[in-house]
Structure 1
Amino acid sequence: MTAPAYRTALVVGAGSGLSASLARLLSKSGLRVALAARSTDDLAHLAAETGAKAFACDASQEGQVARLFAEVEAALGAPDVAIYNASFRTRGPLTELLPADVEKALAVSAFGAFLVAQQAAKRMLPNRHGAIFFTGASASVKGYAKSAPFAMAKFALRGLSQSLARELQPQGIHVAHFVIDGGIRSARRIEPADKPDSLLDPDAIAQTYLDVLRQPRNAWTSEVELRPWVENF
C-alpha cells in the first residue's frame, strides 16, 4: 500500500535549526506549513522563505494551544501532520535547582506535547489519517548528571509517544518519537576540522522525519535514533 498524502503540517517550537530545516523540506515537498512559537519575531524570514504562516503560542497553555489549532485550521486547513519540537532545559545540581524551572521544563517539554497531540488527534481521528511526531533527545533514554529536569521531561515525552502509538496507530494515525542523540550543527556550533561529521546535520535529521512520514502503514516506525557516527551509545 502506498503512503497517504499529507497536506498541512504544524511545527510547534519553531525557530532556527531543526525546525527551520523541517519547514523548508516540508514546504518543498508540497505541504502547507504552519510555524508556532512563543514569539513570532524571529520567524518572519523563515516564513517568507518557505511560504509558511507563523502563529504565536505558548505550548504549555491549554487555551493557547486550542486557539492555535483553530487559527491554523482557519488559515491553512486542519493539520494532518503535527511535529512537537518545543522544549525547555535547566541544568544544575539537584539541591540548587529552582522548582519553578523544573516545573517549566515539564510543562514545555512534556505537558505541551500532550496538549498539541490531543488537539491534533481530535482533528485526525474522524478521517483516520494523520501523523504526530515528537522530537526527543539523548535524555529521552539516559539521564545525565545535573540534568534531572530535562531527563524527567524527555522520559515523559517518550512515554507519551509510546502510549499514543499504541492507541492511535490502529486508528490510522502514525505516531513516532525521534531520539536526537548528539549535538546539532548550527552557525554557533561548528564541528572541528579534525572531526568531520561529528555533529548532526539538521537537514539530514529533517530528511529522516520526511522519510518516516512517507512510510506505508504496513511498515510504520514508532521510534528512530539518530546520532553522528562518532557518538557513543
Structure 2
Amino acid sequence: MSKGVALIIGAGDAIGSAIARKFAASGLTVCAARRNPEKLEPLMEELRVKSHPAHAYQLDARKEEQVIDLYRRIEEEVGELEVVVFNIGANVPMGILETDSRKFFKIWEMACFAGFLCGREAARYMSARKRGTILFTGATASVRGNAGFAAFASAKHGLRALAQSMARELGPQNIHVAHVVIDAAVDTAWINENFPDAAALKEKDGIVDPNDLADNYVMLHQQPANSWTFELDVRPWMERW
C-alpha cells in the first residue's frame, strides 16, 4: 500500500503529465487516467525509471460507473487518495449558430458533469478520513465568456460554481478544494503548431510553461489549513486581463 496517491484525471501530454511529474517528485504515488491509456505509457516509463510508482488507467470521466470503479480500484489496490486533480478541458470553439444540442451537451458532459462525478467520488473517500485535496483546472472561460465559446464557457462557469460549493461544504471537514484559472496560452503541441510566434513568446516568458504551472498544484496541496487558497489565477506577465 502506498503512503498516498495523487490521481490525475485528464492526464494529457502537457498540463496533466506535468502535474503528474510534480506530484510524483513530491513523494506521492501517481495514478493517471485518460480515455486513451496507451498514450500514458511514455509518462509511466519516465516515472518508473526515476523510481516513482505510477499507474495508468482508462477512463471516460462522463461515465458514472467507470468513475466509481476507478476510485474503488485505486483505494483497494494502490493506496489512499490524498489528491485528486480534475484536468479535462473540452475547449472546442464554435459559433452559436453552429452549436447544435449534441455538441453543447458533450462539451458540458466533459468539462462540467465529469467534474461533478470525479469531485463527488473524491469527497466520498476523503470525508471519511477528514483530509484531502481536490483541484479543478479552469480557464479564461471559467470567468469570462467569449464570442464563439458559448458551450465551453457555460461548462467552465458551471465547474467553477461546483468547486465553490464544494469548497464551502468540504472545508470544515479538512478537505481543501481549489480552482486554478489558466488565463493564457499554455506551451502545448497544439499551440506550437498553430501559433507562428509561439517560440518568440516562450523566449519572453509569454506562454505558460506546464512544468511551472504544475508547481502551483503541488503548492495548493501543501498549503496549511489556516491559509488555504480557493482560486488561483495563472497568466504570464504580458497577458491582458
TM-score with structure 2 setting the length: 0.91
Provide the rounded CA distance (Å) in 2 between the counterparts of 1:192 and 1:19.
22
Equivalent residue in structure 2 for 1:232, among 222, 232, 240: 240
Where 2:105 maps in the other structure, the secondary structure is helix
| AA partner of residue 154 (structure 2) | M
Query: Could you say which residue in structure 1 is the equivalent of 2:213?
Result: 205
- The 8 Å contact of residues 138 and 181 in structure 1, kept in 2 or not, is answered as yes
Shift of 1:113: 0.6
1:15 paired to 2:12: yes
| AA partner of residue 17 (structure 1) | A
Provide the rounded CA distance (Å) in 1 between the counterparts of 2:221 and 2:42.
26
Query: Could you say which residue in structure 2 is the equivalent of 1:3?
Result: none
| AA partner of residue 137 (structure 2) | T
1:39 paired to 2:9: no
- C-alpha change, 1:95 and 1:189, in structure 2 (3 Å) is closer
5+ long unaligned stretches in structure 1: 1-5
Provide the rounded CA distance (Å) in 2 between the counterparts of 1:13 and 1:193.
28
5+ long unaligned stretches in structure 2: 48-52, 193-197
Name the structure where helix makes up a greater proportion of residues.
Answer: 2
4+ aligned runs moved over 4 Å, structure 1: none
- The 8 Å contact of residues 69 and 78 in structure 1, kept in 2 or not, is answered as no
Query: Could you say which residue in structure 2 is the equivalent of 1:66?
Result: 68
Shift of 1:108: 0.8
- Superposition CA RMSD, Å: 1.3
Provide the rounded CA distance (Å) in 2 between the counterparts of 1:84 and 1:39.
16
- The 8 Å contact of residues 80 and 120 in structure 1, kept in 2 or not, is answered as no
Provide the rounded CA distance (Å) in 1 between the counterparts of 2:200 and 2:97.
39
- Post-superposition Cα deviations, 1:173-230, rounded to whole Å, max 9, x if no partner, equal 0000000000001345343326611100101110011111111001100010000111
Correspondence 1:137-176 to 2 at 5 A: 137-176=139-178
Amino-acid identity (%): 39
| Segment drifting more, 180-189 vs 50-59 | 180-189
Equivalent residue in structure 2 for 1:216, among 215, 220, 224: 224
Query: Could you say which residue in structure 2 is the equivalent of 1:193?
Result: 200
- C-alpha change, 1:113 and 1:54, in structure 2 (3 Å) is same
- Post-superposition Cα deviations, 1:129-155, rounded to whole Å, max 9, x if no partner, equal 000000000000100101101100100
Correspondence 1:12-161 to 2 at 5 A: 12-50=9-47, 51-161=53-163
Provide the rounded CA distance (Å) in 2 between the counterparts of 1:29 and 1:78.
16
- C-alpha change, 1:104 and 1:188, in structure 2 (3 Å) is closer
- Post-superposition Cα deviations, 1:162-181, rounded to whole Å, max 9, x if no partner, equal 00000001110000000000
Where 1:176 maps in the other structure, the secondary structure is strand
Count of residue pairs the alignment pairs up: 228
TM-score with structure 1 setting the length: 0.94
Where 1:136 maps in the other structure, the secondary structure is strand
